[in-house]
Amino acid sequence: MAVSRAQIAEVRAFNRDYTRRIGVLARGLLDSPYSLTQVRVMYEIAHRPGVMAAQLADELGLDRGYLSRILKRFAAKGLLARTDSAADARRQHLRLTPAGTRVFAPLERRSEQQVRAMLAELEQPERRALLGAMSTIRRALGAASPQGPLSLRRHRPGDMGWVVERHGLLYFREYGWNEEFEALVAGITAEFIRKLDPARERCWIAENAAGRRLGCIFLVAGEGGSAKLRLLLVEPEARGLGLGRTLVRECVRFARAAGYERILLWTQENLVAARHLYQQAGFTRTAWEPHRSFGHDLIGETWQLELRHAVAARGQASR
């Protein structure tokens, strides 16, 4: 179908108005010395610690040379840290340093304040109409992020096959792990179904309004009053939305309500984003050792969260 000049003019007028409103034309975005592109790159790294430069370039549609120059500037200012990928030494995982987090935090606040001020000028019907139109535009143009709100539910038939398939595929793509890892996940899910104690064990599946699965996490009984957190996964399209934190938080809440004294988990040193989530939730690393698994030399880590102490501390504070 032909596109009219009037339709083109309407889109261009919208672009001009919106870019003026959010300050894209200013020398620095959000009263900062950083451009729109630099702030967007910083945003992605802050919300997806461990993301690789190649992923950013592809997902943001940036020239890799241009992105490399941005990252070098960040590193020169002490804002960016890099760690080599275990799957490919030519690739690196990116995260903000503490200094980088301090630089980004006020930019995040200013952006939220800017949007809040813009929405506050509208009555509720206008606000709903505006947000609905924005959602329609993103869907129509093929936005990759999930449609609608995310929700958590318990597992049902068909979910375990998805858990195994997505773990096998994503860890192969992102870390080069072979089918041994997929076999490990298959064994964990099979044991979970065979031995499930619904009062003390659970699988959570995250999905969007359309029913598309976007993440999962498991809690299973361990030994001596311990629970095990297992198989945390967030689909690439849902990263940066806080879903990982939500899954871990729900897992901890359930474990505490079920009466466990602590939660243990086993992860790998190169899984930077997952380790960041565990640290945020209060887990501490208690042991580590090198091993050969999934076709790679890895460093396995045991992390632990004490629940009994947290409950006792809350009880003392309330007295």
DSSP output for 51-102: EEHHHHHHHHT--HHHHHHHHHHHHHTT-EEEEE-SS-TT-EEEEE-HHHHH
Residues 52 and 165 in one domain: no
- Rg (C-alpha) for the chain, rounded Å, is 22
The per-residue pLDDT for 52 is 86
Residue 41 in domain: yes
Residues 97 and 157 in one domain: no
Residues 100 and 222 in one domain: no
The per-residue pLDDT for 312 is 46
Residues 28 and 130 in one domain: yes
Residue 197 in domain: yes
Single out the residue in 140, 169, 192 at which a domain terminates. 140
The token pair that represents 306 in the structure block: 């004490």
The per-residue pLDDT for 315 is 47
Rounded-to-integer distance, Cα 141 and Cα 241, Å: 20
Q: Evaluate if pTM is beyond 0.85.
A: no
The per-residue pLDDT for 261 is 96
3-state secondary structure of 176: coil
Residue 2 in domain: no
Residues 248 and 105 in one domain: no
Residues 261 and 174 in one domain: yes
Residue 163 in domain: yes
Residues 202 and 297 in one domain: yes
Residues 165 and 38 in one domain: no
The per-residue pLDDT for 282 is 96
* Mean per-residue pLDDT over the chain, rounded: 86
The per-residue pLDDT for 291 is 96
The per-residue pLDDT for 107 is 87
How many beta carbons lie within 10 A of that of residue 86, not counting itself?
20
Total of domains in the chain: 2
The CATH number of whichever domain residue 303 belongs to comes to: 3.40.630.30
Residues 232 and 157 in one domain: yes
Q: Under 8 Å CB-to-CB from 266, ≥6 apart: which residues? A: 300, 301, 302, 303
The residue segments making up the domain with residue 103 are 9-140
Q: Under 8 Å CB-to-CB from 49, ≥6 apart: which residues? A: 94, 95, 96, 272, 273, 276
Residues 73 and 208 in one domain: no
The per-residue pLDDT for 245 is 94
Q: 225: phi > 0 → left, psi -120 to 50 → alpha, else beta; which?
A: left
Residues 305 and 170 in one domain: yes
Mean pLDDT by 10 residues, the chain (319 residues): 80 78 63 84 88 85 90 94 73 89 89 84 80 70 60 94 96 93 97 96 91 94 95 89 93 96 96 92 96 96 86 45
Residues 175 and 134 in one domain: no
Taking each helix axis from N to C end, the angle separating 53-60 and 64-76, rounded to the nearest 10 degrees, works out to 130
